[in-house]
């Protein structure tokens, strides 16, 4: 069996200018779009809390949102994941504990109203309110006071009599956002009609760190690949491979931008995989160009590239086809980020093939032409390098 | 068939059999054992045949696939360092007062970690400067103008302190989790200031956060030895419930209760101790795995806590003149007075050092200790090497510091996956991989016929090698790992496509089967090599820069790419060579 019965001789290269123009336009649009709208950053990068719940009866996202709203959580975003009959939802909100500056101030006021309480301060990152009281306190009363300020209390810790100074030290540990979500969904029910499937908290600090590391990883691997290509092939192949990589990464980023799917660590993994795949494809064709350059000496470079692309066309279709085939399972069974990963890969495969033909190769031609033109200019001005008279 | 071929053939057979052998522990842990026994290495070792590889070489399931909690705690070394600066500043002032060098006030800058000393009488500053810089060697001079001297913590000392703060926090977290009784917990450093904790099978993220996110509490409590036979009498009066495995043990002449779990002792003694007394336990560490407790011993302690870690100024492990490891501790002035009173009243009694309600050690008080510095000598314990003994002292010093100079820890991230979701994901992930692989195999067989079947064989071997490789490196299979698995198969297919297309091309040029196969492989080799190496480069960078799921993905990719190089270049070629050279086939089915 054969996909391409006869040897093809499609003139890919002649259409390189309009293609390059279109790609540049598309890439610029995506970059502008990212600058203007930004990604839908997931909890990995933005920080916050995400919980996944699965209900044991049919329910719509709208109903879930209403329940959260009634339970006192108006800012929760609700998203249906997987098939509708699975009744599975992702609930997302900012912050990891119920203690924030606003509620902390309220909690402080409520505690002070109990009398004899001093040195109240909130330890926001840890979700703890610390205070010292003149007399031993009843933990139930403390819980009540703090809860009246709208902060869920997980525990009141009695640290005993203070060592330096007089008084008794206490800590109130606020419960996390996830608890509050479950409480809100549960409000008015005898027993929960849903299952807690997943809880993710990411602190804002960590989110920033994860994002920076992800972007660094992307940059490092691009540079490393560029160096490898420049050494293994010729310098003139390097920039083409790099620009093709950048193109593919931008296009896949465009998928996340346009689809508004969550941009998270898995998305970075997808971008990196696309880099790997794109360069794999570019290298296979570069290899053939190099081989054909030796075979068809004297033919114009652009023509050699066209032959090489046509020679490897069968392989290109087959490989991208089978790789896409292997993604089908992930597209069918993958939910959430795995589905997005597979989709991003699919986009990556398509643009990877395109960029090899219309970006990597034309850039190589352009660099080659420039080098030739420079040499011609030098020769015309009589400034020929006489030590290498055969250089051409 | 030349000798080289036989060598390669033997290698392939050996690799295949070796991979299957290496997957035995994985097979037993995931298929044969019950799900709650899945992570229990001891049970696994017992159930496997004796010729199987050690149980630790098994493919772990990531927390996303089996359910559990993954968390990253960040150690706030900056706050810890600020606190240390303040404490040291106070010590400098005390030192100057004690030596009667003059009268100074100290002011600290929390941002720059600087201490500014201001002398009442500028004339005394010269002597003060000399003495202070000679004694407090962890500080350097920044500037001096008249009566004020600015000091800053030496950067290398500060770095040592930062590392120590993370170690302390890690130790505290380990002990707390141990108190919780979670088996198979994994606590490790992540970067310079973070600690990563994995709790497979746990589902309460709130509880976990609370457990590891609090500041260490160090206490000094007197051991109640007024009735040394307390526990012996208790056991006689009310026998423990059946199955609690509480026994009586005697350590240093005092009978104590011993049980495999902490809860058993606490539960049993509840409401059975006199008022103003409390029972706490000590962990008896597993001699092999230091972070595990084999059993717990009880202590009867005074309920009142006369001294806490806040009064402790420093703690260091040293080797004494008698060549014995010891821990030197010193208190701040208020603490020193309290310590003197305690030791005066308690000569002959024991003082327990308690971290987070766990008794760490309970040394004897030999004499009244004044001046605020004490020595805890590590009693000669039978059957220990000097290193173990010294290690004990270092751990105790670390425990004391963790309570004395606690670095606050904050929750960086928590990821919790319910067990049912884990099961669903592994089922779906497995189906995705099987479907992807199945489609590719079918396609290759149809498209390339016999050569396609050979490629399929290589693909299957590739899958086997990835699993065995993951098991060998004791890696963890995560959901992104399954995605990496699928992607690797795609790259492996590409290699086979490249080879087969080349062979077709050569055949098209009218070459014989033998020449076409040989040239096809030779020509495709460098292309395959280049494409694999570039993919490997990005996989390695992903591995070294990524964390968690990204790393799992990279691990699978690296192993997969290496396996693919082997299967697509060596394995398929050996089989092809067998047909065209060995069997002298005239046609290649491609």
Q: How is A102-120 classified by DSSP, letter by letter? A: HHHHHHHHHHHTTSSEEEE
Which is more confident, B553 or A306? Answer: A306
What is the average pLDDT across A90-100? 80
Q: How far apart are CA B330 and CA B404, in angstroms?
A: 11
Q: Given A266, A277, A325, which is nearest B443 (Cβ)? A: A325
With CB atoms and an 8 Å threshold, state whether B74 touches A332.
Answer: no
What's the pLDDT band for B379 if we cut at 50, 70, 90? low
Which whole number is the average pLDDT over B280-285?
85
Beta bridge partners of B326: B318, B377
Give me the residues paired with residue B298 across strands.
B281
Neighbours of A209 (CB within 10 A): 20
CA distances from B166 to A115, B190, B191, B198 (A): 39, 10, 10, 17
pLDDT of residue A163: 46
Separation in Å, CA B137 to CA A99, B119, B197: 42, 20, 36
Helix (H) or strand (E) holding A25: helix A16-37
Residue B497 or residue B584, greater confidence: B497
Residues A217, B417: C-beta atoms closer than 8 Å: no
Winning range, highest mean pLDDT, from A221-225, A248-252, A353-357, B321-325 = A248-252
Bridge partners for A263 per DSSP = A41
Write the pLDDT tens digit of every residue in A5-16.
667 788 888 888
CA-CA distance, B205 to B178, in Å (whole number)? 17
Q: Please, what is the average pLDDT of chain B?
A: 85
Chain B nearest-CA distance from A109, in A, is 24
Tally of CB atoms within 10 A around B108:
19
Residues B203, B206, B209, B215, Cα dihedral to 10°: -140
As a whole number, the mean pLDDT across chain A is: 84
To probe the interface with B, which of A42, A177, A199 has the most B CB atoms within 10 Å? A199
What SS3 state is found at A5? coil
The strand pairing partners of A202, in sequence order, are A48, B413
DSSP B443-458: HHHHHHHHHHHHHHHH
Chain A partners of B213 at a C-beta cutoff of 8 Å? 126
Cβ within 8 Å, pair A197-B490: no
Contact predicate B458/B563, CB 8 Å: no
Cα(B574)–Cα(B50) distance, rounded to whole angstroms?
Answer: 34
SS3 A144: helix
* pLDDT at residue number A282: 87
At residue A159, the pLDDT reads 66
- The pLDDT assigned to B243 comes to 75
Q: Is the dihedral of CA B565, B567, B570, B573 positive or negative?
A: negative
Q: pLDDT band at A347, cuts 50/70/90?
A: very high
Contacts of A341 (CB under 8 A, 6+ apart): A266, A267, A269, A270, A330, A334, B480, B483
CA distance B570 to chain A (A): 19
Cβ contacts of B204 on chain A, cutoff 8 Å? none
Between A256-270, B63-77, B108-122, B396-410, the lowest mean confidence (pLDDT) is in B396-410
The answer, for A129 touching chain B at a CB cutoff of 8 Å, is no
pLDDT at A29 over 80: yes
Question: Helix, strand, or coil here: B166?
Answer: helix
Helix, strand, or coil (residue A77) = strand
Least Cα separation, residue A375 to chain B (angstroms): 31
Taking CA atoms, what residue in A is nearest to B76?
A125
A322 contacts B443? CB cut-off 8 A: yes
pLDDT at B21 over 90: yes
C-alpha distances in Å from residue B15, one per residue of B20, B466, B470: 9, 12, 15
Which residue, among A275, A242, A236, A241, has the nearest Cα to A367 in the 3D structure?
A: A236
Closest to A287 (Cβ–Cβ): which among B433, B484, B530?
B530
pLDDT value, residue B574: 94
DSSP secondary structure string for all residues of A331-376 = HHH--HHHHHHHHHHHHHHHHHHHHIIIIIHHHHHHHHHHHHHHHH
Residues of B whose CB is below 8 A from A290: none
- Report which of B60, B356, B377, B423 is spatially closest to residue B212, judged by C-alpha positions: B356
Which of chain B's residues have a Cβ under 8 Å away from the Cβ of A160? 305
Yes or no: say if B255 and B142 are a contact pair by the CB < 8 Å rule: no
Unique residue bearing structure tokens 């993905």: B553
Question: Of the candidates A349, A376, A371, A372, which has an alpha carbon nearest to the alpha carbon of residue A239?
Answer: A371
> What is residue A392's predicted lDDT score, i.e. its pLDDT?
39
> Which residue did the predictor score with more confidence, A318 or A180?
A318
The pLDDT value given to residue A389: 46
SS3 B276: coil
Name the residue in chain B with its Cα closest to that of A226. Answer: B534
B227 by DSSP, 3-state: which?
Answer: coil
Closest approach of chain B CAs to the CA of A17, in angstroms? 28
Whole-structure pTM value: 0.73
Q: How far apart are CA B189 and CA B196, in angstroms?
A: 6
Q: Which of B310, B446, B535 sits opposite A280 (nearest CB)?
A: B535
B548 — alpha (psi -120 to 50), left (phi > 0) or beta? left
Q: Could you tell me the sign of the dihedral formed by the alpha carbons of B496, B502, B503, B508, in that order?
A: positive
3-state secondary structure of B219: strand
Q: What is the per-residue DSSP string for B338-394?
A: HHHHHHHHTTTSBEEEEETTEEEE-PBP-S---SSEEEEE----TT--HHHHHHHHH
A278, A348 Cβ separation under 8 angstroms: yes
Q: How many CA atoms lie within 13 A of B557 on its CB side?
A: 31
- pLDDT band, residue A125 (cuts 50/70/90): low
Which of B214, B412, B435 faces A203 most closely, judged by CB atoms?
A: B412
A8 to chain B, any CB pair closer than 8 A? The answer is: no
* A332, pLDDT greater than 60: yes
Choose among B213, B447, B490: nearest Cβ to A323: B490
* Cα separation, A186 vs B404, whole angstroms: 42
Do B493 and A319 make contact, defined as CB atoms within 8 angstroms? yes
Nearest CA in chain B to A268: B550
Query: CB–CB of B206 and A176 under 8 A?
Result: yes
**Chain A CB contacts of B331 below 8 Å:** none
Helix axes A238-259, A204-232, angle to 10 degrees: 150
Contact partners, residue A203, CB within 8 Å, separation at least 6: A47, A96, A125, B74, B410, B411, B412, B413
**Residue of A269, A270, A312 to mutate, testing the B interface (most B Cβ within 10 Å of its Cβ):** A269
CB spacing of A265 vs B550 below 8 angstroms? yes
pLDDT at A164: 45
Measured between its terminal Cα atoms, the distance across chain A in Å is 43
Q: Judge whether residue A391 has pLDDT over 50.
A: no
Dihedral sign of CA atoms B59, B65, B69, B72 in order: positive
CA angle A272, A273, A279 (to 5 degrees): 90
Q: pLDDT grade, residue B566 (50/70/90)?
A: very high
Residues of B in contact with A279 (CB under 8 A): 531, 534-535, 538
Angle at B498 between CA B493 and CA B503, to 5 degrees: 125
Please, which pLDDT band fits residue A226 given cuts at 50, 70 and 90? confident
Q: How far is CA B89 from CA A256, B113, B397, in A?
A: 53, 10, 22
> Would the pLDDT of A383 be above 70?
no
Nearest to B537 among A125, A225, A333 (CB): A225
Collect all residues of chain B within an 8 Å Cβ-Cβ radius of residue A268: 546, 550
- Report the percent of chain B where pLDDT is more than 70: 95
Residue % of chain A over a pLDDT of 90? 14
Q: Which residue, B373, B368, B325, is CA-closest to B349?
A: B368
Does the structure show a pLDDT above 70 at B570?
yes
- Among A290-294, B58-62, B214-218, whose mean pLDDT is lowest? B214-218
Q: Which of A86, A324, A259, A194 has the alpha carbon at shortest distance from B425?
A: A86
- Let me know: does B116 contact B107? Beta carbons within 8 Å: yes
Beta carbons of B73 and B193 less than 8 angstroms apart: no
Instruction: Please determine, for residue A390, whether its predicted confidence score (pLDDT) is greater than 70.
Output: no
Give yes or no for A327 touching B (CB within 8 A): yes
Smallest CA–CA distance, residue A21 to chain B, in Å, is 28
- Under the banding of pLDDT at 50, 70 and 90, the label for residue A22 is very high
pLDDT (0 to 100) of residue B562: 94
Q: Which residues of A touch B421 (CB under 8 A)?
A: 52, 54, 197-198
- From chain A residues 244-283, the ones with a CB under 8 A of any chain B CB are 265-266, 268-269, 272-273, 275-277, 279-280, 283
Sort B561 into a burial class: Cβ within 10 Å, 0-12 / 13-18 / 19+.
buried
The 10 Å CB-count burial string (b at 16+, else e) for B325-359 is: bbbbbbbbeebbebbbebbeebeebbbbbbbbebb
Cβ separation A318–B497 shorter than 8 A: yes
Chain A residues touching residue B432 (CB < 8 angstroms): 329-330, 332-334, 338
First to last CA, chain B: 22
| Cβ-based burial of B87 (10 A; exposed 0-12, middle 13-18, buried ≥19) | middle
Provide mean pLDDT across the span B396-413. 79
Give the number of residues written for chain B: 590
Residue of A nearest to B338 (CA): A163
DSSP secondary-structure letter at A235?
G
- Tens digit of each residue's pLDDT (9 = 90 or more) over B219-278: 889 998 888 888 888 888 888 887 778 888 887 778 889 988 888 888 888 888 888 888
Describe the strand order of the beta sheet including B114-119 as a list of residue ranges.
Answer: B104-109, B114-119, B148-153, B139-145
């Amino acid at each position: 069996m054969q996909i391409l019965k006869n040897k093809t001789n499609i003139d890919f290269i002649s259409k390189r200018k309009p293609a390059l123009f279109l790609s540049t336009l598309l890439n610029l649009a995506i970059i502008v779009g990212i600058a203007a709208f930004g990604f839908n950053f997931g909890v990995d990068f933005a920080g916050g809390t995400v919980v996944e719940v699965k209900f044991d009866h049919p329910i719509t996202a709208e109903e879930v949102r209403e329940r959260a709203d009634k339970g006192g959580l108006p800012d929760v975003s609700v998203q249906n994941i997987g098939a509708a009959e699975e009744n599975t939802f992702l609930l997302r909100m900012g912050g990891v504990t119920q203690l924030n500056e606003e509620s902390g101030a309220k909690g402080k006021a409520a505690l002070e109203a109990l009398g004899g309480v001093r040195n109240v301060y909130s330890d926001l990152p840890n979700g703890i309110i610390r205070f010292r009281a003149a007399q031993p306190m009843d933990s139930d009363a403390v819980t009540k006071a703090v809860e009246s300020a709208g902060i869920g209390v997980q525990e009141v810790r009695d640290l005993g009599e203070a060592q330096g100074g007089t008084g008794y030290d206490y800590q109130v540990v606020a419960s996390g956002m996830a608890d509050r979500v479950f409480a809100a969904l549960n409000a008015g029910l005898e027993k929960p009609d849903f299952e807690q499937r997943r809880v993710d908290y990411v602190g804002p600090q960590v989110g920033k760190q994860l994002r920076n590391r992800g972007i660094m990883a992307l940059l490092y691997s691009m540079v490393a690949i560029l160096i490898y290509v420049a050494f293994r092939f010729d310098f003139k192949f390097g920039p083409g491979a790099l620009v093709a990589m950048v193109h593919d990464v931008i296009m896949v980023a465009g998928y996340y931008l346009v689809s508004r799917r969550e941009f998270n660590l898995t998305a970075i993994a997808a971008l990196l995989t696309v880099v790997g795949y794109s360069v794999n494809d570019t290298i296979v064709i570069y290899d053939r160009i190099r081989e054909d350059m030796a075979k068809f000496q004297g033919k114009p470079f652009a023509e050699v590239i066209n032959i090489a692309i046509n020679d490897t066309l069968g392989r290109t279709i087959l490989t991208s086809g089978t790789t896409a085939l292997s993604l089908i399972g992930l597209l069918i069974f993958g939910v959430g980020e795995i589905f997005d990963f597979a989709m991003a890969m699919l986009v990556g495969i398509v643009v990877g093939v395109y960029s090899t033909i219309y970006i990597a190769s034309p850039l190589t031609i352009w660099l080659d032409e420039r080098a030739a033109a420079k040499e011609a200019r030098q020769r015309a001005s009589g400034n020929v390098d006489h030590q290498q008279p055969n250089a051409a | 068939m030349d000798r080289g071929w036989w060598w390669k053939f033997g290698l392939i057979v050996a690799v295949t059999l070796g991979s299957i052998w290496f997957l035995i522990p994985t097979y037993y842990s995931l298929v044969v054992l019950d799900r709650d026994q899945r992570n229990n290495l001891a049970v696994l070792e017992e159930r496997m045949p004796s010729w199987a590889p050690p149980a630790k070489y098994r493919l772990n399931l990531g927390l996303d696939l089996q359910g559990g909690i993954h968390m990253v705690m960040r150690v706030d070394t900056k706050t810890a360092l600020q606190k240390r600066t303040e404490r040291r500043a106070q010590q400098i002032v005390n030192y100057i007062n004690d030596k009667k060098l003059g009268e100074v006030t100290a002011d600290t800058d929390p941002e720059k970690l600087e201490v500014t000393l201001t002398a009442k009488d500028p004339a005394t500053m010269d002597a003060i400067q000399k003495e202070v810089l000679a004694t407090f060697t962890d500080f350097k001079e920044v500037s001096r103008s008249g009566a004020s001297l600015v000091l800053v913590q030496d950067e290398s000392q500060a770095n040592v302190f930062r590392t120590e703060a993370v170690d302390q926090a890690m130790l505290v977290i380990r002990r707390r989790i141990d108190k919780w009784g979670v088996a198979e917990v994994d606590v490790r450093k992540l970067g310079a200031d973070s600690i990563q904790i994995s709790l497979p099978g746990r589902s309460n993220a709130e509880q976990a956060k609370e457990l590891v996110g609090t500041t260490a509490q160090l206490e000094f409590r007197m051991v109640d030895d007024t009735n040394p036979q307390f526990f012996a009498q208790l056991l006689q009066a009310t026998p423990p419930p059946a199955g609690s495995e509480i026994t009586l043990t005697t350590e240093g002449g005092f009978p104590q209760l011993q049980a495999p779990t902490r809860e058993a002792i606490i539960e049993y003694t509840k409401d059975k101790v006199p008022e103003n007394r409390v029972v706490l336990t000590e962990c008896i560490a597993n001699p092999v795995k230091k972070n595990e407790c084999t059993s717990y011993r009880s202590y009867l302690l005074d309920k009142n806590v006369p001294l806490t870690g806040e009064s402790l100024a420093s703690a260091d492990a040293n080797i004494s003149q008698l060549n014995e490891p010891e821990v030197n501790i010193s208190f701040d002035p208020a603490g020193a007075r309290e310590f003197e009173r305690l030791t005066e009243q308690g000569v002959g009694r024991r003082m327990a050092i308690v971290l987070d309600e766990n008794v760490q050690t309970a040394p004897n008080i030999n004499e009244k200790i004044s001046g605020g510095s004490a020595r805890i000598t590590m009693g000669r314990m039978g059957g220990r090497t000097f290193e173990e003994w010294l290690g004990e002292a270092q751990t105790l010093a670390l425990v004391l510091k963790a309570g004395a100079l606690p670095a606050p820890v904050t929750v960086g991230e928590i990821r919790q996956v319910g067990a049912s979701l884990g099961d669903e994901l592994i089922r779906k992930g497995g189906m995705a991989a099987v479907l992807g692989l199945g489609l590719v195999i079918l396609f290759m067989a149809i498209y390339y016929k016999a050569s396609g079947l050979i490629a399929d064989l290589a693909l299957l071997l590739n899958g086997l090698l990835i699993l065995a490789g993951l098991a060998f490196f004791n890696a963890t299979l995560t959901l992104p790992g399954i995605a990496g698995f699928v992607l690797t198969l795609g790259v492996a297919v590409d290699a086979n496509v490249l080879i087969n297309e080349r062979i077709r091309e050569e055949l098209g040029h009218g070459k014989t089967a033998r020449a076409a196969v040989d040239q096809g492989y030779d020509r495709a080799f460098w292309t395959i090599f280049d494409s694999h190496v570039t993919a490997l480069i990005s996989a390695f960078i992903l591995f070294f820069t990524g964390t968690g799921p990204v790393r799992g993905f990279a691990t699978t990719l690296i192993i997969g790419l290496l396996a693919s190089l082997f299967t697509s270049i060596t394995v398929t070629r050996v089989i092809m060579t067998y047909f065209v050279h060995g069997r002298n086939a005239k046609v290649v089915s491609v």
